[in-house]
Chain A
Amino acid sequence: MDNTPILSASNLGHAYGSIVALHGVDFDLPPGRIGLVGANGAGKTTLIKILLGILRPTTGSVTALGFDATKDMLDVRSRIGYMPESDCLPLDVTASEFIVYAAGLAGLPRNAARQRSSDVLTLVGLEEERFRPLGGFSTGMKQRTKLAQAIVHDPELVFLDEPTAGLDPEGREEMLELISRLGGFGINVLVSSHVLGDIERTCDRVLMLDGGRVLRSGPLSHLVDADVVSVDVLGDVSAVVEHLTAAGATVETTGTRLLVSSSDDDPFRLVRDALVSTGNGMRSLGPKATTLEDVFLEGSGT
């Protein structure tokens, strides 16, 4: 698989007057499904607008699919799709007409636009409603229409800005399922969301922003699968802790529950040895369940 970065930034910055939205942002993101996470005001939307060529960076440079997002804006836009967070659908046309229009705006010839419109509306589950005016659509149907217009021209990369905003639990599940399938179609995805659970469900890599700076960036598995073991001890907890510490492990104690990590050894093996040596038992043992939220809160110092 070609791991040439699809998105890169070097010392990227942007300011709205005196308000700095992005500051010294650097990243190289390989193909795949990338989560762009951060609190409101972290700079997510500003970054997407710079990638689309709507905003110009104040400092640094940024490339998308190998093109300079500022100088080669039209080349970038020919290859990407964008699902905005805000309302963006004309209310007096049918879903079918609008998606054909969206495909034409991306440069597809009329016949191809009609064919793709039909295919994509079926893909997002709107084949039955395609001849209904968009003004009568529910929030979930509108979100699916927005996704359809973002992928109707078969882009190499699609930006999804808060794709589950306003959806009920069922609609959210359907949307996350659709996003998860995009990778299989050869479409790279950048999902911007402050719902970290959505990112964990759909992405394999994360770019975390906080206050306009990169907080963390990397594969999701590296961020959330911390090499920490959680064990609930039955018996003399202090004896187990003493043994683990003597073996070079770092131990965090909460009642009978211990969080054990070690830079030199396998923490599972250290826990097993400590329990056997001290003659204690355990109620449960497993890797610490670290969520993206834990990583974010830890990184942002909240």
Chain B
Amino acid sequence: MTERGVVFDLGYTPHEGERRGRRGAIATMYRDGLYRVFGIHRRARKKILPWLLVVFAVLPAVAFVGFAFLLSTFAPDAESPFGSHADYFGLTGAIVLLFVALAAPELLIPDRREGVLAIYSSRPLTPDNYVGARAASLLTVIAGFTLIPQALMYVGFAALSSDGFFKALGANASEIPRILAATLVFGLAYAPLALLVSTIANRKAAATGIYLGIMLIGSALAAALVEATNLPGRRYAALLSLAEHPEYVTSWIFGGTGSGDLVVASTGLDPWVSLVAMLVIAVGSSLLVAWRYRRIM
């Protein structure tokens, strides 16, 4: 005898499981931010540039460790010519700046242009939660860009050390808080202003251009004002050189005095003045972004 099949119409099944409320909403928003900036779950062309920049940020560290390996193998007594952790921040700074210029507009502008904010306004999120989650995504990306190559160098050089891996790790442990502090400095210097520009601009390309313009033309303007004028207190014009602040402060964190190529260093301003200028811009930008989103969400 053949058994008769039975078709069940399951219809609509209510959700009776866990609901994580605001905590879950913020975590989802944060994860979405990371997906967006790396083009994950997006078309292939959205993945190319971010991942290319990741390669550019990490590749020198891999090369440094590789050359150090060759050097330790073939000329163990030779002094390593490769850069320190502080130097590497100078190297990746420009790549981080470019990535932030591309990532911040991607995080904020499509939500406004495509009207997705209307949906966020029906979820257990406040405007501050939204801005905070997006900023956290951007800061995480900046931290990834700076910390991953630093970690590669830290572990790689320790592995090649003639003193032994663990001893070398311990000997350089004092670098870890400095690396973390420098990462925070780059995050504060780059992210809030990029988010502010993306809050005002309505097109991603425009936001990227405006942000890079502010950061890079600021340095040229600062140099011109410092060198070509006789105005009293003109050295403070060097504070307009926004892209240089993180490098100058990072150098200070690692015990250096900053390259003489930096306008802000050449004027003799103390690094803490740079740090204060950076913090003022970061706090001011953050407040303006929060204010704007409280009005539109």
Residues of A within 8 A of B (CB): 52, 54, 73-74, 77-78, 80-82, 84, 86-94, 97, 101-102, 104-109, 112, 116, 119, 123, 133, 149-150, 153-154, 159, 181, 184-186
Q: Which residues of A contact B125 (CB under 8 A)?
A: 74, 77, 105
Q: Cβ of A105 and Cβ of B15 under 8 Å apart?
A: no
6 contacts between A and B (CB under 8 A): A82-B118, A92-B43, A105-B29, A106-B24, A107-B124, A109-B17
B122 within 8 A of A: yes
Report how far A78 CA is from B23 CA in the complex, Å: 11
- Of all A-B residue pairs in the complex, the 3 with the closest CB atoms, nearest first, are A104-B28, A82-B122, A154-B15
Given contacts A86-B118, A87-B114, A90-B116, contact A185 B42 (CB under 8 A): no
Inter-chain residue pair count (beta carbon < 8 A)? 112
B13 within 8 A of A: yes
Q: Which residues of B contact A109 (CB under 8 A)?
A: 17-18, 20, 24
Closest beta carbon of chain B to A294's beta carbon, Å: 34
B262 within 8 A of A: no
B202 within 8 A of A: no
Return the contact of A77 from the options B14, B28, B46, B124 (Cβ within 8 A). Answer: B124
Report how far A73 CA is from B29 CA in the complex, Å: 19
Closest beta carbon of chain A to B192's beta carbon, Å: 24
Q: Cβ of A153 and Cβ of B15 under 8 Å apart?
A: yes
Return the contact of A74 from the options B22, B46, B120 (Cβ within 8 A). Answer: B22
Q: Which residues of A contact B126 (CB under 8 A)?
A: 73-74
B256 within 8 A of A: no
Q: Which residues of B contact A123 (CB under 8 A)?
A: 12
Q: Which residues of A contact B27 (CB under 8 A)?
A: 104
Q: Which residues of B contact A81 (CB under 8 A)?
A: 122
Q: Cβ of A78 and Cβ of B41 under 8 Å apart?
A: no
From DSSP, what is the main secondary structure of chain A's interface residues?
mixed
Q: Which residues of B contact A73 (CB under 8 A)?
A: 126
Residues of B within 8 A of A (CB): 11-15, 17-25, 27-29, 31-32, 41-43, 46, 110-111, 114-116, 118-126, 297
Given contacts A52-B122, A74-B124, contact A87 B115 (CB under 8 A): yes
Return the contact of A105 from the options B17, B41, B119 (Cβ within 8 A). Answer: B119
Q: Cβ of B115 and Cβ of A108 under 8 Å apart?
A: no
Residue ID in chain B nearest A80 by CB atoms: B122
Report how far A89 CA is from B117 CA in the complex, Å: 10
Residue ID in chain B nearest A184 by CB atoms: B12
Q: Which residues of B contact A92 (CB under 8 A)?
A: 42-43, 46, 110
Q: Which residues of A contact B15 (CB under 8 A)?
A: 108, 112, 116, 153-154
Return the contact of A106 from the options B25, B42, B46 (Cβ within 8 A). Answer: B25
Return the contact of A119 from the options B13, B22, B23, B31 (Cβ within 8 A). Answer: B13
Given contacts A74-B124, A78-B124, A89-B116, contact A185 B24 (CB under 8 A): no
Closest beta carbon of chain B to A57's beta carbon, Å: 16
Q: Which residues of A contact B21 (CB under 8 A)?
A: 74, 78, 107
Residue ID in chain B nearest A158 by CB atoms: B122
Q: Which residues of B contact A107 (CB under 8 A)?
A: 19-25, 124
Q: Which residues of B contact A185 (CB under 8 A)?
A: 11-12, 14
Q: Cβ of A101 and Cβ of B114 under 8 Å apart?
A: no
Given contacts A104-B28, A185-B12, contact A77 B122 (CB under 8 A): yes
Report how far A233 CA is from B118 CA in the complex, Å: 56
Given contacts A107-B21, A154-B14, contact A52 B115 (CB under 8 A): no
Q: Which residues of A contact B20 (CB under 8 A)?
A: 107-109
Q: Cβ of B118 and Cβ of A101 under 8 Å apart?
A: no
Report how far A109 CA is from B29 CA in the complex, Å: 13
Return the contact of B115 from the options A74, A88, A119 (Cβ within 8 A). Answer: A88
Q: Which residues of B contact A105 (CB under 8 A)?
A: 25, 28-29, 119-120, 123, 125
